[in-house]
């Protein structure tokens, strides 16, 4: 089997990730922050360790401003529902995932907020000129993905952050695609809210993600409940991360996530980035000239690690089905939870085949994939 669906969730996981999860489950995985006994303190240490590792990774000065969440969707919803108020004006790009678009459109449909969408150029690129035009004083929040989950186009996050800061606009970055291969520095990029998955580029297990909230940003929690702190109070504590972390945490997952980020640090993010770029280059070289194939991804230097294509008028799901059943290659077809991206790209009918290599794929697998796609495109499968 060749796994090329790392944009959905990364696989395999480094052995250190699996080991850390097994260790804490075997050693004693008590409830962190609830009791004072040794096993609870042990679990608390594991959580704190991962919080600190992630804070260093994204240049977050206070690790306590990171709240763990079950997935990026939860983190994005927490950010959106937590900072907007009646009458807020929000700007987002058409390249956003439904985990941004749906909460925004839900709030808009109730007349609570208004939403402006920035359209992309070719291959899903968002220009800095279009961002400048949309981000005027009075806008409350700008939501932008770090890179497109459809085409892989890397967004001008640093430039957008400067414009947001100059205009007093909160800047929410969805780092679902790119965290772990594109360096993210919340200070340099002026990011106020960073939603990140644990289970994709950070190489942790499913069920892990987080939300960073800059000090000074007022946020309301999406969920209230037990935090283990201020238990005599009937109201949610305002301190971080408790305000956003109600209920028992996924301690084994968080233990694994910490090791995933350490693995990236030990390997080097540039090495990971380069390996993905090399595989993308092979795909561009191998498939770029085939007349039946249309490519939708920017070149490797401007791409977080996605190769999107269509074959004539073939339905993308049919191609993915053939890749899976005939060649044992896992890819993703359809619309990737990004309806506006596909509308902008003109692929709302057939969808696209998304190939997303990860650090653990190799050249042989990439060559086999090229051959498989060529044979489907030429009708000789
Ligand atoms: C750009 C983008 N944002 C958000 C998400 C949602 O991530 P999660 O599955 O962790 O909720 C995804 C998932 O693929 C994504 O690609």
Q: Is the dihedral of CA 366, 371, 375, 377 positive or negative?
A: positive
Ligand 1 within 6 A of CB of 242 = no
Distance CA 106, CA 101 (A): 8
Ligand 1 atom with the shortest distance to the CA of 146: 1
Is residue 203 within 8 A of residue 17, CB to CB? The reply is: yes
Is residue 368 within 8 A of residue 327, CB to CB? The reply is: yes
Phi and psi at residue 39, to the nearest 5°: -70, -35
Give me the numbers of helices (H) and strands (E) for the chain, helices first please: 11, 12
Ligand 1 atom with the shortest distance to the CA of 147: 1
Instruction: Give me the domains of the chain, ranges plus CATH numbers.
Output: 2-10+268-377 (3.90.1150.10), 15-266 (3.40.640.10)
End-to-end CA distance of the chain: 17
pLDDT at 263: 98
Distance CA 151, CA 147 (A): 8
Ligand 1 within 6 A of CB of 176 = yes
DSSP string, 254-271: HHHHHHHHHHHHHH-HHH
Is residue 216 within 8 A of residue 188, CB to CB? The reply is: no
Is residue 95 within 8 A of residue 148, CB to CB? The reply is: yes
Please state whether beta strands 2-3 and 329-330 pair in parallel, antiparallel, or not at all (unpaired).
parallel
DSSP state of 242: G
Distances (CA, A) of 233 to 183, 222, 236, 262: 40, 18, 8, 37
Q: Output the pTM of the full model.
A: 0.98
Per-residue pLDDT of the chain (381 residues; tens, 9 = 90+): 999 999 999 999 999 999 999 999 999 899 998 889 999 999 999 999 999 999 999 999 999 999 999 999 999 999 999 999 999 999 999 999 999 999 999 999 999 999 999 999 999 999 999 999 999 999 999 999 999 999 999 999 999 999 999 999 999 999 999 999 999 999 999 999 999 999 999 999 999 999 999 999 999 999 999 999 999 999 999 999 999 999 999 999 999 999 999 999 999 999 999 999 999 999 999 999 999 999 999 999 999 999 999 999 899 999 999 999 999 999 999 999 999 999 999 999 999 999 999 999 999 999 999 999 999 999 987
- The per-residue pLDDT for range 309-329, each reduced to its tens digit, is 999 989 999 999 999 999 999
Question: Which residue among 80, 100, 199, 337 has the greatest number of ligand 1 atoms within 8 angstroms of its CB, and so is best to mutate?
Answer: 337
DSSP state of 227: -
């Amino acid at each position: 089997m060749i796994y090329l669906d790392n944009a959905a969730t990364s696989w395999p996981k480094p052995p250190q990730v699996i080991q850390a999860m097994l260790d804490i489950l075997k050693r004693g995985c008590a409830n962190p922050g609830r009791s004072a006994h040794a096993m609870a303190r042990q679990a608390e240490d594991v959580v704190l360790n991962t919080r600190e590792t992630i804070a260093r990774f994204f240049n977050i000065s206070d690790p306590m401003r990171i709240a763990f969440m079950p997935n990026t969707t939860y983190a994005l919803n927490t950010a959106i529902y937590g900072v907007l108020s009646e009458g807020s004006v929000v700007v987002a790009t058409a390249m956003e995932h439904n985990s941004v678009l749906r909460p925004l459109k839900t709030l808009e449909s109730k007349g609570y907020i208004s939403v402006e969408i920035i359209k992309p150029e070719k291959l899903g690129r968002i220009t800095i000129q279009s961002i400048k035009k949309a981000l005027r004083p009075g806008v409350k929040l700008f939501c932008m993905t770090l890179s497109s989950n459809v085409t892989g186009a890397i967004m001008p996050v640093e430039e957008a952050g400067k414009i947001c800061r100059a205009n007093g606009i909160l800047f929410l970055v969805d780092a679902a695609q790119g965290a772990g291969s594109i360096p993210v520095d919340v200070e340099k990029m002026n990011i106020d809210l960073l939603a990140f998955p644990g289970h994709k580029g950070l190489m942790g297990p499913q069920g892990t993600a987080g939300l960073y909230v800059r000090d000074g940003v007022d946020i309301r929690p999406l969920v209230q409940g037990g935090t283990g702190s201020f238990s005599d109070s009937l109201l949610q504590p305002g301190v971080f991360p408790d305000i956003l972390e109600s209920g028992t945490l996924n301690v084994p997952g968080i233990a694994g996530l910490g090791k995933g980020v350490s693995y990236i640090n030990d390997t080097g993010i540039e090495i990971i980035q380069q390996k993905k770029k090399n595989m993308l280059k092979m795909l561009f070289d191998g498939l770029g000239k085939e007349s039946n194939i249309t490519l939708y991804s920017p070149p490797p230097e401007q791409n977080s690690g996605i190769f999107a294509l269509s074959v004539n008028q073939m339905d993308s799901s049919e191609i993915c089905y053939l890749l899976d059943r005939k060649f044992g290659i896992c890819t993703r077809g359809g619309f990737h939870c990004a309806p506006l991206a596909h509308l902008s790209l003109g692929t709302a009918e057939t969808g696209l085949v998304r190939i997303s290599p990860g650090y653990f794929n190799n050249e042989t697998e990439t060559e086999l994939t090229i051959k498989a796609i060529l044979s489907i495109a030429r009708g000789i499968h």
